[in-house]
């Protein structure tokens, strides 16, 4: 009888700990996305304990990401994981570099901070990137790259060349509609394409 009660208590304690761990994973502000599917589902692995942080190793081309989970320090190759979440922001790894995911509607937009020399010191410079889909290569956000990346969407490609006068214009943000203008064009042409197909 005593063994049965002990087993019930142990089972309850394990269940409570498992529920806490699941709650931490779903509400976590930091952790690792092992796969694209994990990112899409918002499922984090290796959530750092309270007071601990992810160690990204961004300098000098570091290839590892480290996190302390429980009493263990875990080191993962950046090339083997999709990305991570830190400070409420999502990042994707591509060629051992971390790109902050700004927007995923239609196709992803990213930013990547770079340190560049300026005068006698250095300054932080934000550079913008995109990919045609969440798992495709990350490219510089330029008119030429966007034009080449959507070969089946002629209306969208032509409007990019007509609407944006330079590469810097591609990140124009519409504060009234709270969205990037390039995304507006993309969805306008998706909508028009859908109407054309329906009418055929």
In this prediction the pTM is 0.77
Structure tokens at 114: 């770079």
Structure tokens at 161: 């060349």
Q: What is the pLDDT of residues 56-74, one digit of tens each?
A: 776 556 788 888 767 788 8
* Domain boundary assignment for the chain: 1-87, 104-200
Dmax of the chain from CA atoms?
80
- Lookup result for tokens 């979440």: 85
151 vs 160: CA distance, rounded Å: 13
Residue 11 has pLDDT above 50, yes or no: no
96 vs 200: CA distance, rounded Å: 46
HSE value, Cβ hemisphere, 13 Å, CA-based, for 97: 15
* Reported confidence tier of residue 195, pLDDT bands at 50, 70, 90: low
Q: What is the CA radius of gyration of the chain?
A: 22
The secondary element (H helix, E strand) that includes residue 88 is: none
Residue 39 has pLDDT above 50, yes or no: yes
**Residue 44 CB neighbours (<10 A):** 22
Q: What is the pLDDT of residues 96-148, one digit of tens each?
A: 899 999 999 999 999 998 888 888 888 888 999 999 999 999 999 999 999 99
113 vs 124: CA distance, rounded Å: 6
Burial track 133-159 (b if 16+ CB lie within 10 A, e otherwise): eeeeebbebbbeebeebbeeeeebbeb
Mean pLDDT for the chain? 82
Residue 173 has pLDDT above 50, yes or no: yes
CB 62 within 8 A of CB 55: no
């Amino acid at each position: 009888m005593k063994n049965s009660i002990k087993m019930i208590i142990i089972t309850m304690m394990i269940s409570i700990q498992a529920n806490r761990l699941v709650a931490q994973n779903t509400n976590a502000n930091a952790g690792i996305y092992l796969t694209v599917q994990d990112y899409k589902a918002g499922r984090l692995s290796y959530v750092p304990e309270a007071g601990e942080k992810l160690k990204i190793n961004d300098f000098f081309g570091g290839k590892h990401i480290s996190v302390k989970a429980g009493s263990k320090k875990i080191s993962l190759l950046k090339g083997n994981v999709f990305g991570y979440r830190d400070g409420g922001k999502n990042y994707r790894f591509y060629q051992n570099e971390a790109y902050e995911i700004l927007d995923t509607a239609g196709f992803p937009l990213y930013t990547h901070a770079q340190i560049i020399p300026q005068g006698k010191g250095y300054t932080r410079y934000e550079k913008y990137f995109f990919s045609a889909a969440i798992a495709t290569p990350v490219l510089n956000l330029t008119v030429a790259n966007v034009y080449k990346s959507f070969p089946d969407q002629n209306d969208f490609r032509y409007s990019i060349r007509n609407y944006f006068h330079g590469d810097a214009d591609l990140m124009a943000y519409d504060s009234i509609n709270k969205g990037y203008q390039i995304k507006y064009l993309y969805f306008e042409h998706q909508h028009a394409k859908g109407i054309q197909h329906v009418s055929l």
